[in-house]
Amino acid sequence: MCIPEQLEPHIPRYKMIASHIMEAIRSSRLGEGTKLPPHRLLADRLGVTVGTVSKAYAELEKHGLVSARVGDGTYVRGHDHEDRGYFRAVTNGAQDVVDFSLNTHISMGEVSLLADTLAQLAAQTWHLHGVLQYQPDSGSLPHRQSGLRWLARSGVDGSPENVVVTNGAQHALLCALMATTRPGDAIGAEVLSYPGLFAAARYLGLRLRGMPIDEEGIVPEALEEACALGVVRVVFCTPTLHNPTTATMSLERRAQIARLARRHNLILIEDDVHGTLVTDHPPPLHCYAPERTIFISSLTKAVASGLRVGYMLVPAELRQKVALAVRASCWMATPLVAEVASRWIDDGTVDQLIRQQQEEIRRRKALVADLLAPLDVRSHPDSLHFWILPPEPWRSDELAEELRHAGVLVKSADAFAIGRHEIPHAIRASVSGGDSDQILVDGFRIIRDMLVVGL
Ligand SMILES: Cc1ncc(COP(=O)(O)O)c(C=O)c1O
């Protein structure tokens, strides 16, 4: 059975144990009817007291996941929780596949933390009353203040007046585009970019213009050229942990891009969703050109993908337009969810969850490091994925298809490509997939075995 090897010092031990078992039940590693280890046995294995294990099992029982049979033991209950709509993030319904195609947060202790926060909220009826009211379109002041604290983690600073709360980064991106473009406009972006940008641009009738990238991201000369032609006024980019290449701009490159933006009067939309995972975050573009940069962040990669809360820091002149875009799209970000995010930001829960996330990413990557050693692989210690460049004669789309047949889902470079530019042959494989260490390693072994033949 899956039990934590080590316990996170900042979360009560019983919660940590309960959370790991919950995750094992959710992912079906612990099937219906499985008997949990006797209290004393698990306590000895984990070096905790029997009382701690009893509290963990009681927590699971409270959530309806296990039932205790007197004199017999504790058993995993049937999956009636799934019938009630319990969410399971899978793979387009496919079974028996390892899904490395999605960059999602890795579930750690957040389930029981959410249960606690909701219980606290339930006891504070005056707060419940507040979150059931209409809020200003940019979010309530306390929520924007928490947003500012969140954004400060990445090194940006501003006034709460210029913070806009959104339902995640995709929503923020949509609002940024709505506020800065008209149908028919051209948007510059890294030639390999986040596919959510494509969806939003298509919907708004915008043309995407791919800019060549190198190991730091957008090549300044390419941006200069597009600006000289006068075709681009708005540029989307991801300076820190670019998705999918994991490239991170040097300080010099950031300064160059900011200078160009100023010279050509560009608006920059800076996406920092993956940057939230970076330990020593370099100063964002926003620091170099705050008057023209819309900075976008969210809790989804580092804390929980379903906690749909994003924050934007917006130049004062654009504030009204962005607020109108929020109003037009959803009136305001959902206050109840924003309240959970605020509490977690303000009480330090996010710091703890991010630290755990970083540790787990590194641990998982270490498990497969030897396997990938013979291959051309790019990554960053805090990135959720590997960017794997296969040897000749592999094409990325064929490789992704072959891997799918072998039971491993990855994303091919084509999924990130703008237009018909030449792009590298590469696949993105995320360590957030794989329901156990063994499945993770087996999945990466399949990738390795397919690629090392002929090396
Ligand atoms: C670069 C980038 N930006 C934005 C998003 C969307 O983030 P959210 O889930 O907060 O909408 C993603 C999600 O994959 C992403 O990779």
- Output the DSSP codes for 437-454: HHHHHHHHHHHHHHHHTT
| Alpha-carbon distances of 259 from 80, 176, 181, 256, 265, rounded to whole Å | 58, 21, 22, 5, 10
Cβ atoms within 10 Å of 323's Cβ, excluding its own: 19
| Long-range CB contact pairs, 1-9, < 8 A, 24+ | 1/29, 1/30, 1/34, 1/36, 1/37, 2/29, 2/30, 2/436, 3/37, 3/42, 3/45, 3/46, 4/46, 7/46, 7/48, 8/108, 8/109, 8/352, 8/356
Q: For ligand 1, atom 14, name the residue with the nearest CA.
A: 103
Q: Quote the ligand 1 centre to 170 CA distance (angstroms).
A: 6
Mean of the per-residue pLDDT values of the chain: 91
- Which atom from ligand 1 is nearest to the alpha carbon of 243? 1
CA 154, CA 119: separation in Å to the nearest integer?
30
Query: What predicted TM-score, i.e. pTM, was given to this entire model?
Result: 0.83
Q: Quote the ligand 1 centre to 268 CA distance (angstroms).
A: 17
Q: Which residues contact 192 (CB under 8 A, 6 or more apart)?
A: 210, 213, 242, 244, 245, 413, 416, 417, 418, 423
Q: Quote the ligand 1 centre to 338 CA distance (angstroms).
A: 17
List the beta bridge partners of residue 236: 189, 269
Q: What is the pLDDT of residues 264-312, one digit of tens each?
A: 999 999 999 999 999 999 999 999 999 999 999 999 999 999 999 999 9
Tell me what the mean pLDDT of segment 83-111 comes to.
69
Q: Is ligand 1 within 6 A of the CB of residue 237?
A: no
pLDDT of amino acid 82: 42
Q: Quote the ligand 1 centre to 326 CA distance (angstroms).
A: 17
Q: Quote the ligand 1 centre to 57 CA distance (angstroms).
A: 35
Q: Quote the ligand 1 centre to 169 CA distance (angstroms).
A: 6
177, 245, 300, 330, best to mutate for ligand 1 pocket (most atoms within 8 Å of CB) = 300
Q: Quote the ligand 1 centre to 84 CA distance (angstroms).
A: 28
Per DSSP bridges, beta strands 411-412 and 293-298 are unpaired
- Which atom from ligand 1 is nearest to the alpha carbon of 173? 4
For tokens 């002929």, the residue is: 454
pLDDT of amino acid 7: 57
What letter represents residue 100's amino acid? F
Q: Is ligand 1 within 6 A of the CB of residue 37?
A: no
- Which atom from ligand 1 is nearest to the alpha carbon of 102? 14
For tokens 């504790």, the residue is: 74
Q: Is ligand 1 within 6 A of the CB of residue 322?
A: no
Q: Is ligand 1 within 6 A of the CB of residue 245?
A: no
Q: Is ligand 1 within 6 A of the CB of residue 196?
A: yes
Per DSSP bridges, beta strands 267-271 and 293-298 are parallel
Model confidence band, residue 3 (pLDDT cutoffs 50, 70, 90): low
Tell me what the mean pLDDT of segment 244-250 comes to.
98
- Which atom from ligand 1 is nearest to the alpha carbon of 194? 1
For tokens 């009738």, the residue is: 205
Q: Is ligand 1 within 6 A of the CB of residue 238?
A: yes
Q: Is ligand 1 within 6 A of the CB of residue 311?
A: no
Per-residue tokens: 61: 């029982």
Per-residue tokens: 73: 């033991």
Share of the chain above pLDDT 90, in %: 76
Q: Quote the ligand 1 centre to 300 CA distance (angstroms).
A: 7
CA 270, CA 199: separation in Å to the nearest integer?
17
Tell me what the mean pLDDT of segment 429-448 comes to.
94
Model confidence band, residue 93 (pLDDT cutoffs 50, 70, 90): very low
pLDDT of amino acid 90: 40
Q: Does residue 393 surpass a pLDDT of 60?
A: yes
Residue 325: closest CA among 128, 167, 197: 167
pLDDT of amino acid 115: 94
Q: Quote the ligand 1 centre to 243 CA distance (angstroms).
A: 9
CA 455, CA 444: separation in Å to the nearest integer?
17
Cβ atoms within 10 Å of 229's Cβ, excluding its own: 10
Tell me what the mean pLDDT of segment 66-72 comes to.
82
Tell me what the mean pLDDT of segment 375-381 comes to.
97
Half-sphere exposure of 326 (CA within 13 A, CB side): 26
Q: Is ligand 1 within 6 A of the CB of residue 298?
A: yes
CA 83, CA 81: separation in Å to the nearest integer?
5
Q: Is ligand 1 within 6 A of the CB of residue 310?
A: yes
Q: Does residue 258 surpass a pLDDT of 90?
A: yes
